[in-house]
Chains A and B, each alone.
Chain A
């Protein structure tokens, strides 16, 4: 039992440390003209390396700088202060470049 717990903890910890992309499902993303405030706000955070917004996927993705993180609470507050509703936050292994490429591929 202890071994199993340790294994799960190790997997979760390793995932948390390695994760450098935070993907948020956001409602209300219908107009790029209005949504640009999201990108502007998130880029102000010193831990932000890059931001991608996809209206099609209702997605806001943030890449953090190496060894840095932005808490869910801070991200939710940033999106709420921009006038949008966050419906989910996930830390993923997809790089921001992969996300950008997938968005471009979908658009074609």
Chain B
């Protein structure tokens, strides 16, 4: 847990002088469909359409299941993603994204549906060989507040080009707050993408599946 927190703090400090990575906005007039399965604790699906390269609109579904007491949240939300800043460098790109939205959450322990809102941000930095990103995502209501912080560091064994398969080895650290998961979590993943298709899968430090699939069109 402390290790994860220290890692997050370090990346914030290092990142402040560079920039940011994995993007909630693909490109102008592009649609992104994403599904993620997170170590038995979270499941999320999102669909976004970007009318501009710096803006996307859409919605998602997030299911959080506590491995502490079995409570479950099912949050359906509408969201706006905004690219606040981009740095295009000769051999790198960095981004700062922010997002926010509103939704409805189902709480299993009371069988109630409540209004919820969400807010988050991401900072990423990427070259063709290395990448780092840090993301925070908060879902809040009058009855709960859950935040999922995710740090990713990636290394590509070779430089891919526009029409070739990209391969990345990714280490992910994740921290859940709000009584969902006790402590931090690490995962080692393999990421592959080509054209508009993206697939990553790996295993967490307690042996659970961590996976994400994404399509841009």
Q: Chain A interface (Cβ within 8 Å of chain B)? A: 27-41, 52-56, 58, 81-85, 103, 107
Contact = CB atoms under 8 A, between A and B. Distances in A.
Nearest to B195: A36
Contacts of A28: 86-89, 92-93
Interface centre among A29, A30, A37, A82 (most CB of B within 10 A): A30
Given A36-B216, A83-B53, A41 B90 contact: no
B159 A56 contact: yes
Given A81-B52, A83-B53, A83-B54, A37 B166 contact: no
Contact of A83 (B86, B166, B196): B86
Interface residues of B, number: 34
Interface in B9-39: 23, 26-30
Contact of B28 (A32, A35, A81, A103): A81
A6 to B, nearest CB: 40
Contacts of A53: 162
A81 B164 CA distance: 24
Contacts of B195: 32, 36
B193 interface: yes
B29 A41 contact: yes
B160 interface: yes
A85 to B, nearest CB: 4
Nearest to A100: B163
A51 B167 CA distance: 24
Interface in B75-133: 83, 86-93, 126-128
